[in-house]
């Protein structure tokens, strides 16, 4: 049987991890390579890097990080943040990323998704959707949640599937950072709208939230950042808990 | 010994290169090339493949003489070759992704879309699935039954002769995930992304 994936996400800025794992025995707590290694050795099913480097001059640092990490981590590596073009995707894949997640560029121009999935295969194209509840619908936001678009998230999800996305990474902006749990309604509606896998993101504060994301939100994978970074739970603890709640995981 | 990863511009092969180099350390020479002479002089070949069946077959055919060289290596000279993902799928006679496309024809069969049972199963099949080993295979040596491997694909290889199948997975139906026919090996999963257990398969191949 296919297992549900647990994906820790690391924010990387100027080549360094921000809000890193709080382990005392780390030689260099800001080193993304070392942290990714800890996660993969702990049983992470996939590692996600989100590049939050603000300035263009420092963009190249993420390539170095990906290159180094992919030589040490033998689980899938997804990289997102600031991906604008087919050329950006190509560079990240060449450095050793297995998948690239596209956010703002996918909203601005669906051809980026279409062209890159044709060129590299759908398996490496993840579309990241940031959505916020607005009345009865969810609205898509871009630029790291700063700009509203007026686009309905469910319609956009379908459009991205049709354009060739292999997976959707769905973040609830209402829940992100709140530790109140995923927006289950949003996850389950998107999951039933598309036939490609959905990764739930935004709002995890405890392990029951991961269970809910899969069981109630029908997500195929759950992404979390802070519960793992601060050493609140290890990946193994999370997976054991999920297993005890009858969620299929790789242990 | 020299192991060559065939770089026929089939998409992203960095992870394949990294994993083989990690396993080989400095003991085995890992070459990444599409140079026919270098392929001919190799002891073993790795045939990766990403994207669609058609795009991979087209990419192979785009390099003059490559298919003939691979045919000689695997079929006439019977030297070890492993196909990964679409690399395995191309062993088939025919594939149905995008449009009907002729494969290498090394293992008789076809490559068809996984039956998603009207949306009950999501495609691509992405993630970790447990393999069911049904036949002893050299590359699965010391791999426990029900081990988890990492998959990402929407199409499956359906060989005519079921004796070539060394492992299957359960996703919608029993899907072939490892084959072995004489000197030809293939995995639908990605050993290069399947953690330590995947590296072990790579090690088994290198040590054949």
pLDDT band at A229 (very low <50, low <70, confident <90, very high): confident
Give me the pLDDT at residue A230, please.
78
Mean model confidence pLDDT for chain A: 93
Residue among A75, A119, A220 whose CB faces B195 most closely: A75
Mean model confidence pLDDT for chain B: 96
Give the chain B residue nearest A44 (alpha carbons): B195
Q: Does A181 touch chain B (CB under 8 A)?
A: no
Q: Let me know if A130 is a catalytic residue.
A: yes
All residues of chain B having their beta carbon less than 8 Å from the beta carbon of residue A74 are 15, 18-19, 22, 192-196, 198-199
Q: Over the stretch A60-115, which tens digit does the pLDDT of each residue have?
A: 899 999 999 999 999 999 999 999 999 999 999 999 999 999 999 999 999 999 99
Q: How far is B168 from chain A (nearest CA, A)?
A: 11
Asked whether residue A231 carries a pLDDT value surpassing 90, the answer given is no
Question: CB B195 to CB A74 under 8 A?
Answer: yes
Q: Over the stretch A237-246, which tens digit does the pLDDT of each residue have?
A: 999 999 999 9
All residues of chain B having their beta carbon less than 8 Å from the beta carbon of residue A168 are none
Angle value at C-alpha A56, between A72 and A228, nearest 5 degrees = 40
Asked whether residue A136 carries a pLDDT value surpassing 80, the answer given is yes
**How many residue pairs from chains A and B have C-beta atoms closer than 8 A?**
101
Give the chain B residue nearest A100 (alpha carbons): B12
For the complex shown, is ipTM > 0.90? yes
Mean pLDDT of all residues in B9-21: 90
Give me the pLDDT at residue A24, please.
52
Q: Which domain holds residue B186?
A: 2-206
Taking a C-beta distance cutoff of 8 angstroms, is the pair A48, A201 a contact?
Answer: no
Q: How far apart are CA A134 and CA A156, in angstroms?
A: 15
Asked whether residue A27 carries a pLDDT value surpassing 70, the answer given is no
Mean pLDDT of all residues in B15-34: 95
List the CATH number of the domain containing B50: 3.40.50.880
Q: How far apart are CA A76 and CA A95, in angstroms?
A: 13
Give me the pLDDT at residue B32, please.
97
Question: DSSP characters for A206-243?
Answer: SHHHHHHHHHTT--SEEEESHHHHTSSS-HHHHHHHHH
Q: Does A93 touch chain B (CB under 8 A)?
A: yes
Q: How far is B93 from chain A (nearest CA, A)?
A: 22
Q: Does A3 touch chain B (CB under 8 A)?
A: yes
Give the chain B residue nearest A37 (alpha carbons): B195
Give me the pLDDT at residue A248, please.
97
All residues of chain A having their beta carbon less than 8 Å from the beta carbon of residue B202 are none
Q: Let me know if A11 is a catalytic residue.
A: yes
pLDDT band at A28 (very low <50, low <70, confident <90, very high): low
3-class state of residue A200 by DSSP: strand
Q: Tokens standing for A45?
A: 């099913």
Question: DSSP characters for chain A?
Answer: -BPPEEEEEEEEETTEEES----TT-S-TT-HHHHHHHHHHTT-S-EEEEE---SGGGTHHHHHHHHHHHTT--S-EEEESS--SHHHHHHHHHHT-SEEEE-HHHHH-THHHHHHHHHH-GGGEEEEEEEEEETTEEEEEETTTTEEEEEEHHHHHHHHHHHT-SEEEEEETTTTTT-S---HHHHHHHHHH-SS-EEEES---SHHHHHHHHHTT--SEEEESHHHHTSSS-HHHHHHHHHHTT-----
Of A166, A158, A132, A133, which is closest to residue A146 (Cα–Cα)? A132
Mean pLDDT of all residues in B63-69: 98
Mean pLDDT of all residues in B98-110: 96
pLDDT band at A30 (very low <50, low <70, confident <90, very high): confident
Query: Cα A70 to chain center, whole Å?
Result: 17
Number of domains in chain B: 1
Mean pLDDT of all residues in A160-174: 97
Asked whether residue A21 carries a pLDDT value surpassing 70, the answer given is no
Asked whether residue A190 carries a pLDDT value surpassing 70, the answer given is yes
Taking a C-beta distance cutoff of 8 angstroms, is the pair A113, A163 a contact?
Answer: yes
Q: How far apart are CA A139 and CA B64, in angstroms?
A: 51
């Amino acid at each position: 049987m296919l297992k549900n994936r647990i994906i820790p996400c690391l924010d990387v800025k100027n080549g360094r991890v921000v809000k890193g794992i709080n382990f005392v025995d780390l030689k260099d707590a800001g080193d993304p390579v070392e942290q990714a290694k800890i996660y993969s050795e702990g049983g992470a099913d996939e590692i996600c890097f989100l590049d939050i480097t603000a300035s263009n001059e420092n963009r190249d640092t993420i390539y170095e990080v990906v290159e180094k990490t992919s030589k040490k981590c033998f689980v899938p590596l997804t990289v997102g943040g600031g991906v604008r073009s087919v050329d950006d995707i190509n560079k990240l894949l060449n450095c050793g990323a297995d998948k690239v997640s596209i956010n703002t560029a996918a909203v601005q121009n669906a051809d980026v998704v279409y062209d890159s999935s044709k060129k590299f295969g759908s398996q490496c194209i993840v579309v990241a959707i940031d959505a916020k509840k607005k009345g009865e619908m969810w609205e898509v936001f871009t630029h790291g949640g700063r700009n509203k678009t007026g686009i309905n998230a469910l319609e956009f999800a379908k459009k991205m599937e049709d354009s060739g996305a292999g997976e959707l990474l769905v973040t609830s902006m209402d829940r992100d950072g709140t530790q109140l749990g995923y927006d289950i309604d949003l996850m389950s509606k998107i999951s039933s709208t598309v036939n490609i896998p959905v990764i739930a993101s935004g709002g995890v504060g405890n392990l029951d939230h991961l269970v809910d994301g899969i069981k109630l939100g029908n997500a195929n994978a759950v992404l979390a950042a802070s519960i793992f970074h601060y050493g609140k739970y290890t990946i193994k603890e999370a997976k054991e808990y999920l297993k005890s709640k009858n969620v299929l995981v790789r242990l | 010994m020299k192991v060559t990863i065939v770089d026929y511009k089939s998409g992203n092969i960095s992870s394949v290169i990294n994993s083989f180099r990690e396993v080989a350390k400095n003991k085995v020479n890992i070459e990444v090339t599409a140079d026919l002479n270098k392929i001919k002089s190799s002891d073993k070949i790795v045939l990766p493949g990403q994207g669609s069946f058609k795009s991979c077959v087209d990419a192979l055919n785009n390099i003059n003489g490559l298919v003939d060289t691979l045919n000689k290596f695997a079929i006439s000279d019977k030297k070890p070759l492993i196909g990964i993902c679409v690399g395995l799928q191309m062993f088939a006679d025919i594939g149905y992704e995008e449009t009907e496309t002729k494969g290498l024809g090394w293992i008789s069969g076809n490559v068809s879309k996984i039956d998603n049972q009207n949306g009950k199963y999501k495609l691509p099949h992405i993630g970790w699935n447990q393999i069911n080993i049904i036949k002893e295979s050299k590359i699965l040596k010391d791999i426990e039954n029900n081990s988890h491997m990492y998959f990402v694909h929407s199409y499956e290889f359906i060989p005519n002769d079921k004796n070539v199948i060394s492992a299957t997975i359960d996703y919608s139906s029993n899907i072939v995930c490892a084959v072995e026919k004489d000197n030809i090996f293939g995995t639908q999963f990605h050993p290069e992304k399947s953690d330590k257990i995947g590296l072990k398969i790579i090690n088994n191949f290198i040590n054949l």
